[in-house]
Amino acid sequence: MSGAPSRVINVSSSSYVGRQLDLGDLNFDRRRYFYFRAYSQSKLANILFTKELARRLKGTGVVTNAVDPGLVYTEINGRPNQSMICRFLDSTRSIIARTESQGAQTQLYLALSEEGGVESGSYYVNCRKERLWGNASDMNLAKKLWEVSCKNVQLAQEEMIPDAEENSSNANTTKRNARKNINTS
């Protein structure tokens, strides 16, 4: 793949824990929209996207990981009609939140350190790989999300990142069939 070696870093959050994805209604068109639920589901989707991208790019020299920067003091919640939890977090964030510089440390670690370019498809917090909880490790869900996303953005087949495992499996089948043909000739 051109552009390798490269690193892709997706920002997530621990708010993904315990969330479910409704693949038939990712945009909350058929259900009531709640800011924190949408935010949390998007962070779960970022992790699943990262895992599927890592699987598809395996062996290409492109490494992709997800990070949780922690609660960072930014203007993300500076909007009207916030949920109660957002208003609470907003009132306490200047006391407990990290600075933007502190929040960026794990992204910088993955982008710049030698260790950050080794493993792909993982989730990092405070510059350390962390275990994923719940359905964030569900590779079937990750693949389904990938497929739904490609369909939703109307990605043409030739624009898609090929499935490395399927290509490898097909190549191995072709090699086995070629050997069989040679042996039977």
Q: What does DSSP assign to residue 72? A: B
* Dist CA 184 CA 75 (whole Å): 69
Please say if 39 is a catalytic residue.
yes
What CA–CA distance (Å, rounded) separates 26 from 54?
22
Helices 139-152 and 35-56, axial angle in degrees (round to 10): 100
| Catalytic-role residue among 16, 33, 39, 123 | 39
| CB-based contact 50:107 (threshold 8 Å) | no
Q: Which residues are catalytic?
A: 39
